Amino acid sequence: MTQQPSTHDLLLQVSREESSDLHWTQDYVDHAIPDHDVAEITDRTLSLLADEHLAFPDQESLVRRCVVSLLSGHLVLQGPPGSGKTSLARTLSSAFRMHLKVCTATSEWSPFHVVGGLRPNAGGGLEGVLGEVPRAALACGQTVRDLESKTGDSTGGDEDVVGTWLLIDEFNRADIDKAIGSLYTLLSSTEPSHLERTPIDLWFESDEGRKRLWVPARFRIIGTMNDLDTSYVSAMSQGLRRRFQFITVGVPTEGATATEPVSSELHAALAIANESLDKSYGRSSVSETDVREALVRLQRVVDGLRRPEGISGWPLGTAQVVDVVKTLILVSPTGELPALDEAVAQRFVGQLGTISKRQYEAFEALFRAENLDLSAAELDHIYRPYSAV
């Protein structure tokens, strides 16, 4: 896997450049993404996903579409919580040999957070500070310049990091149209000829040599967008949507079969949970044989939530399944029923706050059928708190 520079090293690089003239960035505008073999990058991404025990519906097609999107522009991964959007973004960045700078949008975001502005300094005055996009773009340019200085070639070797990308998690938690406003023209294309004509205007800089920042053609923004909690997110204009390519990351459709009551998703979830607990607490792995009965029961719950008969299901993400398995084996390495009930109640039921009456009835019946009485009681409380039933 590509050796990533540390966040500390990147911040030192950016800090060094923030104190100097930025005209040098114009010289690196035409440095496009050096890796452009779609099949090779797709295979590399799939291999990295397998190493992390990660899987997505229609995985090869999904990854290929993401690779093509990133070669041509900026990308937004949309889908329900827990579907693996952020993990996929990280893996794609590694496959492209890019460092990924991560930030999370909030409802308080403004152009100050995205582009930059003025803030008080220790001397009682005001100083310019770069926002998330120019800081990441500057780090990208610095990486390209350092690589070219070291090797004479900005494409680098197989293990070299060749740039920096920006991941904006929870993209639509912010009023992103307002926050990103002055970058509309810049984001309309990643071609060098366009970027040459549209540097970022750093109006808040007092030094004339720092008022414009050119973005390398290999720089990308990846956004992740929760498209389920529509009551808590902001709408995006068609103008902004045109500047990103949108790809949906769904939840697995595979479930139990007559011959295999536990899907590959749950096998992978156990492996991920074991690795996580080993890294965090030095816990020895739980064998699948020990928790087989609990996994079979959990599979029926997952299938019942996602695909109840006759009504719409709940888009339960794989990350949430992993959380249940992790909680289960923390409480009971042998997968006792009360431990599974606690895990489902804690990790699944809390996500079901906006379900319909028919969904409530189906899900409660599902929990009761699996003897998950705590989960059924928690669901009842969420759906109709403190009612006399």
> Is a pLDDT exceeding 50 seen at residue 17?
no
pLDDT digits (tens, 9 = 90+) for 267-322: 999 999 999 999 999 999 999 999 999 999 999 999 999 999 999 999 999 999 99
> Is a pLDDT exceeding 90 seen at residue 375?
yes
pTM: 0.89
Mean pLDDT of 253-272: 94
> Is a pLDDT exceeding 50 seen at residue 104?
yes
pLDDT digits (tens, 9 = 90+) for 27-73: 999 999 999 999 999 999 999 999 999 999 999 999 999 999 999 99
User: Cβ distance 175 to 181 under 8 Å?
Assistant: no
Structure-block tokens of residue 224: 């992740």
Per-residue DSSP letters for 329-346?
Answer: HHH-TT--HHHHHHHHHH
Mean pLDDT of 342-346: 97
Residues 6+ apart with CB under 8 A from 301: 344, 348, 366, 367, 370, 372
Q: Where are the domains of the chain?
A: 7-248, 264-383
Find out if CATH 3.40.50.300 is the number for domain 7-248: yes
Any idea what DSSP says for residue 248? E
Per-residue DSSP letters for 238-266?
Answer: HHHHTTEEEEE---------SS-SS-HHH
Q: Of 386, 315, 389, 323, nearest to 355 (Cα)?
A: 315
Q: How many other CB atoms are there within 10 angstroms of residue 107's CB atom? A: 11
